[in-house]
Amino acid sequence: MNVPASRGPVGIFTRILLLKGWIAGAFLALTVAGVCGALRIPDDLAIEHLMVPGDPVARATRDFERVFPEGEQALLVLEAPDPLSPTVLGAADALERELARIPAVEPHSLLTLYRLAEPGAQVGGAQSDRLRAFATGSSLLRRAGLLGDHYLGIALELRVHSPAERDRALAEIDARLQPLEGGGSPFTAVRRVGSPWLDAWLERETGLATRRFMPLFGVFLMGLVLLVYRSWRTLAAVVLTLGAVVAIAMGLADLLGFSHTVVSALVPLTVMVTTTATLVYIHSRYLDASGAATPLEHHAGALADKFLPCTASILATAVGFAALAVSDIRPVREMGLWTAGGLVVAWIACFSLFPALQSLLHVPVRTARAPATAWFESFADVLVPWTRRWRWALVACALALMLCGAAALFGMPGRIAPLPLETDALSYVSAGERIAQDTRRFRELSGLDVVELWLRTAPGHALDPDFLRAVEELAERLERDPRITAVDGPTSVLRWAHYVQSGSDRLPAEPAAWPKLAADLEQILLTEPGARGYVDIGDLASMRLSVRGRAELFGPPGAMRASIEAIAAAWQAQEPALLGVKAQVVGRGVLAAQISEHLVPTLTESFALTASVIFVAFLFVFRSPAGRLMAMIPSLFAILTVFLVMRGTGIPLNIATILIGSTVLGATENDQIHFFYHFQQGRSSGSTAAALHRALIVAGRPILFATVINASGFLALALSDLPPMRQFGIVTSTAFVLALLADFTALPGALWILSGPQPRVPRSQPGAAG
């Protein structure tokens, strides 16, 4: 093939257009590879994986779980008016025996403990009164969540090693529960509580999220393209480009080792809407008639004209998402890097695959001004003088709303609290889902927030009598806090054994009694595998106390951990047996609080880095610092004002909505770059009025269409059953509309102010556009 040698961007795009067949073939192969890679992406919603591996708390929790591995914990709550009646106990006993037959499921309840005290005892008959006395003679069962005024609890441990194994176990549990949930059952309700059901629901809904909203957005996009451009060939070029870009972008996760998380559904949507907006800018310029000698020259010239603003905008957006790498929240970091990689793919495709498809499909060029553009020209004729007249008011109103938005986000000391944070796993589940209702109901009865107090001593000393006595005293001190429901540890095993043997759950305080208690515990550990979850029998250097309570009663995130650490440190300073012992609060509950503490830093740091990168990109392209700050007003206005919307509608900051800053700033600055680029083109040879008119005519309609595409794409997330995704879709689409409003009001007003005194422009000066 003979390719003419020419210089500059026009020459480069001429070569690309002449290689259109090769480019289309290469992207076809990459698309197939991307689909194959996307099918291999694993799911990972475990809370212990939400923090990056290098985080100290995440690392300590992993070290702890290597010493104390355990299966997934769940609880069945069997509600009844009298949970200790013979009928209820008989049905619970039969259910527990059925559950014990399920592979990898280990149930235990008050009946399990009663049989330790009364080997071979049968439920019912003469045993009913004795069993009732056993159940009500101690607070241990209530603290463990196995008994309430109107419920029995069956604790379940699922010894599973994969989501598939967990789902099979849950399905078999549900099959055993189904006969008890209809009429004639002694239970008024059977409730499922615990992370296995929550995780299973989240994994299922995360997988459905993309399949649910992407087709809707696709239908909308096709309708919009046909409405605006009225060309099936244009539609085909856009759809084929988007399909290739999204497939390749999704396949990047397989190469980078990323997983599907609660926010990963944002990746294909973000890549798609950003790519679509860029295609709108490119194609709108392609449609405009030019004085080129040949269609090839016209096509290459249109691409060259849009190359600088599109490159600056899409690469700045990519760097903006890459700024999320500063986050210590792993799904947020991965989503940012994944999206950035996808946007680089989009940039390449927009200036290679899309032009190739336009050429191969012979997409028509507009030869005359379309009637549909007349209304926008009339709008521009009115808008330019109007923004000059009200420039100070427009900018002042925008700045005032931005300040109010900042106050809504960060609060005002003594007056307004900061925007609330939310990382509770239940916040990711729709309130109407049964698992959410069951878990919330049980939380009202008994705390569900669990942290682990990891005690490490010298090897071989974990069963020393004085050390065990000090640990028991520490557990009692923790339980004196009314916000703490229960503390379970190795001495809890002794409490149970003591209660079974003597009817009292109080262990003796005298030091002389503890050598025998230590020997009893050692014997229990040798004969009862379930008791080994509290002591590392390998080197007898570690033990744990599981502290369960209601974290919201302690105050802000991390307060429960701080309170436990303070109690442990105070007792450690008084008790000689605890000298040299390392006490550390770890566990999944601590990780959840840690995520909350990282939400605002993730928002502010990534936003600041994104804004800095975009400002540098503006400065590199346009060379005027003051002008670039003015040009960023619409994005900043949209982001800060949307926090007012969040405050007014009760939408909190969570793992999805913290992405609002980088997402909106990265996407909406496209509009400002294109607007300012064409403003400068007009300003170089005319007045401010002429430059604004040119920018509105050339970039205004694409900005309008791009905003409709962006807002509609993210608004499709409102159909998601995942509350964070639904909230993110609502606030992001709102922010896009706010940015559009500022593009046509505050931005022209700021440019008028920056331009200094100008002669008054009559409304009938459309020719100033040039």
Where does the pLDDT of residue 623 fall: very low under 50, low under 70, confident under 90, or very high at 90 and above?
Answer: low
Per-residue pLDDT at 445 exceeds 50: yes
Closest CA to 355 of 24, 592, 90, 93: 24
- DSSP codes joined into one string, 192-235: EEEHHHHHHHHHHHHHHHHHHHHHHHHHHHHHHHHHHH--HHHH
The values of phi and psi at residue 194, to 5°, are 135, 165
Residue 5 scores a pLDDT above 50: no
pLDDT of the residue at 135: 86
| Residue-wise pLDDT tens digits, 314-331 | 887 888 788 788 777 788
The pLDDT score that the predictor gives to residue 343 is 93
Of 67, 148, 110, the C-alpha closest to 452 is: 67
The pLDDT assigned to 36 comes to 94
Amino acid 383: pLDDT: 92
Please give the Cα distance from 284 to 288 (Å, whole number): 7
Distances (CA, A) of 512 to 508, 592, 634, 685: 9, 42, 75, 97
Share of the chain above pLDDT 90, in %: 27
Q: Write the pLDDT tens digit of every residue in 87-105.
A: 998 899 999 999 999 988 9
Q: pLDDT tens digit string along 238-266? A: 999 999 999 999 999 999 888 887 678 78
| Residue entry with tokens 């791009």 | 706
Mean pLDDT computed over 617-646:
75
The Cα–Cα gap between 645 and 653 comes to 12
Structure confidence at residue 626 (pLDDT)? 62
For the chain, the distance separating the N- and C-terminal CA atoms, rounded to the nearest angstrom, is: 40
- pTM over the 0.75 mark: no
Q: What is the mean pLDDT of residues 482-505?
A: 85
Residue 515 has what pLDDT?
A: 92
- DSSP letter at 262? T
Spatial separation of the C-alpha atoms in residues 528 and 757, rounded to whole Å: 87
Rg (CA), the chain: 32
Q: Would you call 147 helix, strand, or coil by DSSP?
A: strand
More confident residue, 144 or 36: 36
Picking from 586-595, 627-636, 753-762, which range would have the lowest pLDDT averaged per residue?
753-762
The reported pLDDT for the residue numbered 3 is: 38
Alpha helices by DSSP H, listed for 47-179, are 56-67, 86-100, 110-117, 127-136, 140-143, 163-177
pLDDT in the model for residue 289: 63
pLDDT at 568: 93
Which of 351-360, 377-386, 394-403, 655-664 has the lowest average pLDDT?
Answer: 655-664
- Site of tokens 């789902």: 167
* Euclidean distance between CA atoms 705 and 442, whole angstroms: 49
Count the residues in the chain: 770
178-187, 342-351, 361-370 — which one is most confidently predicted on average? Answer: 342-351
As a whole number of angstroms, the distance between CA 23 and CA 302 comes to: 19
Q: Are 162 and 103 in contact (CB under 8 A)?
A: no
Please give the residue that has the higher pLDDT: either 67 or 589. Answer: 67
Question: How distant, in Å, are the alpha carbons of 465, 469, 476, 662 from that of 511?
Answer: 8, 7, 16, 60
Q: Which tokens in the block code for residue 347?
A: 């940039």
Q: How many CA atoms lie within 13 A of 155 on its CB side?
A: 18
State mean pLDDT over 211-231.
Answer: 74
Average pLDDT over the chain reads 83
Of all residues in the chain, what percent carry a pLDDT higher than 70? Answer: 87
Q: Is 51 a residue whose pLDDT tops 90?
A: no
Per-residue pLDDT reduced to its tens digit, 699-724: 888 888 888 888 887 887 887 777 88
**pLDDT digit string, tens, across residues 260-283:** 876 787 888 888 888 888 888 888
Q: What is the pLDDT of residue 765?
A: 47
Long-range interactions of 123-130: CB distance < 8 A, separation 24+ = 123/86, 123/89, 123/90, 123/93, 124/86, 124/89, 124/90, 125/86, 128/84, 128/86, 128/89
* Among candidate residues 183, 158, 161, 184, the one with its CA nearest the CA of residue 171: 158
Structure tokens at 370: 């379309």
Q: Which amino acid is at 737?
A: V
**Whole-number pLDDT of residue 422:** 74
- Contacts (Cβ under 8 Å, ≥6 apart) of 22: none
- Collapsing DSSP to helix, strand or coil, 66 comes out as helix
Rounded distance between C-alpha atoms, residue 404 and residue 406, angstroms: 5
Higher pLDDT: 599 or 154? It is: 154
What span, in angstroms and rounded, lies between the C-alpha atoms of 420 and 418? 6
Distance CA 416, CA 412 (A): 5
CA 355 to chain CA mean position, Å? 35
Encoded amino acid at 226, one letter: L
Report pLDDT for 57: 77
- Rounded to the nearest 10 degrees, the angle between the axes of helix 746-755 and helix 391-410 is 120
CA 6 to centroid of chain Cα atoms: 48
Closest by Cα among 549, 589, 573, 571 to 471: 571
The set of long-range contacts for 730-733, using a CB threshold of 8 Å and a minimum separation of 24, is: 730/649, 730/651, 731/642, 731/645, 731/646, 731/651, 731/657, 731/660, 732/660, 732/663, 732/664
- Two tokens at 640? 């800060």
Say what the pLDDT of residue 758 is.
Answer: 57
Contact 314, 342 (CB under 8 A): no
Q: Determine how β-strand 151-158 pairs with β-strand 72-79.
A: antiparallel
Res 764: pLDDT: 45
Confidence of residue 215 (pLDDT cuts 50, 70, 90): confident
Cβ within 8 Å of residue 419, ≥6 positions away: 408, 409, 410, 411, 643, 646, 647, 652, 653
